[in-house]
Chains A and B, each alone.
Chain A
């Protein structure tokens, strides 16, 4: 395999914050470690920083290769020299979210008080808490104002939360395939995933760390449901149709159809890389997220941030109407917002796949934002 390795071999970096975070649930929580990566160089005025916000199950490794990697980071198509987030121009930052399991403190991290994993002693967190921790990281990097905050799905929610909580620290925002708040349908899918995890006896009320057993079956089922919601009827049709793994029906409950095999494979590979409790905490944070009404922008606040809102026509998990609700809210406040509903058949997954269209929009939008003083 030829690696298009323009960013060089990268390493995830870590920073510890001892001072406790004040969480949405009322608790104080700390110390906290943040895993993050950066690409490109921060300019002298510290004015070219772009914060990339990852979706539900991703991590800080947004671009480039780690030592020995076969695949690059999850948004490598958009981040790098000459790409939409051009690392020759911008300083790109991506960190793992609070509650995650990819280096930032989460339920699988060791509680310094007990020397054991937090498990369900980890507080229930919100998207605002995730963003508050990102703010610490940005402060740590010496950046007062971000040129742009951008992410898809839960990453888009974080972008909106940034505008809501730190409006003066954000010059522009690109929320992609997301919503002002979860609809009952989205909460319902989250709940099915959580119930699948919690119904697995190996979950052990959340205290499964160190027992040699993980709620793998439950988490796998949760992920299978997730994957269905990330695709569209058409993309599943194109990818699998009713193709059989073997020539004939087996007349058993083995995976006869390609789609069954795919979902099982996706479920099984997910449990190897993701923590079941993180699944619970992060989906809950998404369900609690709500910046509708006057929350996104306080009634007495004038914000200068520009917006690029993007949705995908075949996305039924975060349908386009939810993105248009974001736009309507911004229009009502006379905020500069560009909106594009990208023609794609990939469903919600499109935000990771339609990089050509996204690049066309993001590249020029960022140039416009950069040009403005």
Chain B
């Protein structure tokens, strides 16, 4: 299991109601349904990915996320997942507030832009960072937003979002110290009271 999936798997309680925003081909939801018997729903914009979700027997909604989550009542999911999704959204702020509205807890996974190799590439070479978790050239990246672990902490503090847990990792290992420098990726568990 991918480490980010493992972190999310461990965070989600058995039988929970889960909404995965940008669920892709449904790999994570499938794991959660099989292992944790969650009641799963995905939202995905890519046609082919939607077909793959249906083939896995998943409930999926074919849409982008920029129109929000209208139709879902407040706190109607135990967990809303935004794993490697945020960077590609046009309106991240809106999507996060919608996620926090419909979800009791929100799980956010993203790549850390302040990873030391990214910093070095910027500082030494004067070039846009390309790392294991951000492997794209400036002209072909699907990512519209770049953030660091510290940026996300600041965002949560500023918006009165409570960080229940935060896990940082580098490929297959957790990073216990200096995450903003050493971690390639982060997974946050957040909530808004």
Contacts and interface: CB of A to CB of B under 8 A. Distances in A.
Nearest to B51: A360
B62 A339 contact: yes
B54 A337 contact: no
Most chain B beta-carbon contacts within 10 A, residue among A308, A331, A365: A331
Pairs A-B, 5 closest by C-beta atoms: A328-B71, A331-B71, A368-B57, A340-B62, A339-B61
25 contacts: A306-B59, A324-B63, A327-B71, A328-B70, A328-B71, A331-B71, A332-B72, A332-B73, A334-B76, A337-B61, A338-B53, A338-B58, A338-B60, A338-B61, A339-B60, A339-B63, A340-B51, A340-B60, A341-B62, A341-B63, A342-B47, A360-B54, A360-B55, A364-B54, A364-B56
Interface string B42-84: 0000010011011111111111000000111100100000000
A368 B71 CA distance: 24
Interface in B115-138: none
A88 interface: no
Task: Please classify the interface of chain B as helix (H, G, I), strand (E, B), loop, or mixed, using the class held by over half of its residues.
Answer: mixed
Nearest to B43: A339
A341 to B, nearest CB: 5
Given A337-B61, A340-B50, A331 B55 contact: no
Interface residues of B, number: 20
A365 B70 CA distance: 24
A306 B76 CA distance: 18
A10 interface: no
A368 B76 CA distance: 23
Contact of A340 (B41, B54, B57, B72): B54
A340 B53 CA distance: 11
Most chain A beta-carbon contacts within 10 A, residue among B53, B60, B62: B62
Interface in A285-317: 306, 308
A234 interface: no
Interface of B: 41, 47, 50-51, 53-63, 70-73, 76
B39 to A, nearest CB: 8
Given A332-B73, A361-B51, A327 B57 contact: no
A341 B54 CA distance: 13
Interface of A: 306, 308, 324, 327-329, 331-332, 334, 336-343, 357, 360-361, 364-365, 367-368, 371
A229 to B, nearest CB: 24
Nearest to A325: B71
Contacts of A327: 61, 71
Most chain B beta-carbon contacts within 10 A, residue among A329, A338, A364: A338
A361 B54 contact: yes
B71 A357 contact: no
B174 to A, nearest CB: 36
Contacts of B47: 340, 342-343
B59 A367 contact: no
Nearest to A331: B71
B59 A338 contact: yes
Contact of A364 (B55, B62, B63, B71): B55
Nearest to A340: B62
Given A327-B61, A343-B47, A338 B71 contact: no
A368 B59 CA distance: 10
A331 B63 CA distance: 14
A327 B70 CA distance: 10
A314 to B, nearest CB: 13
A343 B60 CA distance: 16
